[in-house]
Amino acid sequence: MSTAWDELWKQSRFPPTIHWYCEEFLSYLLQQIVAIEEGFFLEPGAGSGRFCYRLSKMKREVVALDLSHYSILTLRRNIDNDFLHVVRGDVLHMPFKDCIFDVVYNEGVVEHFQNSVSVLTEMVRVTKKKGIVVFSVPNFLSFHTFARQVLARFFTQTWRKRFWPYGFEKSFTRNHIRQMLLFACLENVEVHGLGLFYGLARYTPIRFYMMLYSLYIRLRGTSMGSFLTEYCGFQVAARGEKANSCE
């Protein structure tokens, strides 16, 4: 897996672009941590660094962990404050003790592992009791999931890699995510949709991309937009608190 991601992060710009679904995830994350002023944050699978870098600019102390050589190299080269710490390591076997982070979060990571529960379980392991875990994954009911299935079934490997360089990925229903949260010893769980229309827009030329973005802006905050986002948005975002009784 690290080879595919090395190729991707080798070509990435810094700071990376924040697309509209990323804006929503960042906003959702900030809502969850608003009361945590001096917490210790971890982003396992930090990749391009789009979230950990911005959190560090807000003076949040955050550790960025990734297995990709180029991800780590890019982040270390561009650190411009004392709040961002970079560690190379495996998301499934993180080099940290139990129960040390107040918030563990990532976006677009859990879905790239065959055993997604193992990733979530490891994230919970390093989270403090009553700490928060936040993540997002592709929505099973989104256009993105449909398009990926079309690519897999009707296109050659060369064309699939051209349109989809991210390797293995799976999508999740809201109920599946809720069950994963509960299984991982998390309580006070929440599951929400985000990224209305982005799953379609990412496959279109820039003109249509901007049209869909304009429509997204008009619908955002309306009852119809909220309903469509919850159930058909690009991703499913989830959060939970680590139970005191968790072993």
151-195 pLDDT, tens digit per residue, is 667 666 665 666 666 778 899 999 999 999 999 999 999 999 999
- Cα 238 from chain centroid (whole Å): 10
Give the Cα separation of 191 and 170 in Å (integer): 17
pLDDT digits (tens, 9 = 90+) for 8-22: 888 777 878 888 999
Q: Which of 50, 154, 149, 62 is nearest to 102 (CA)?
A: 62
| Domain-wise residue ranges, the chain | 2-242
pLDDT at residue 11, rounded to an integer: 79
State the average pLDDT for the chain.
91
Q: Give the architecture (CATH level 2) of 2-242.
A: 3-Layer(aba) Sandwich (3.40)
Neighbours of 34 (CB within 10 A): 8
- Within 13 Å and on the Cβ side, how many CA atoms surround 73? 12
Predicted model pTM: 0.92
